[in-house]
Amino acid sequence: MATETKAKVRYDALIPHEYKSGEETKTAWTKVGAAFPTADGKGFNVELTPNIAVSGRIVLRVYEPKPQPAAE
């Protein structure tokens, strides 16, 4: 019997903050936690960072690690 290994997909939980930079409107993102699909794939478990006040919209985005600088 073959064993299936499912890779856990992580989503960052982010709150967007819009601000003006001159005439341009920009968005800054604050990470407030992470989300992981449930075992049955029908929902998500959201883990929020302790002691953070959260209100408004939360955006879930697939986690993408930042590239590490090349060692010299």
Check if the beta carbon of residue 12 is closer than 8 Å to that of residue 66.
no
pLDDT in tens, 25-70: 999 999 999 999 999 989 999 999 999 888 888 999 998 888 888 7
pTM of the model: 0.69
Q: Where are the domains of the chain?
A: 11-62
* pLDDT confidence of residue 7: 64
17/55 Cα distance (integer angstroms) = 12
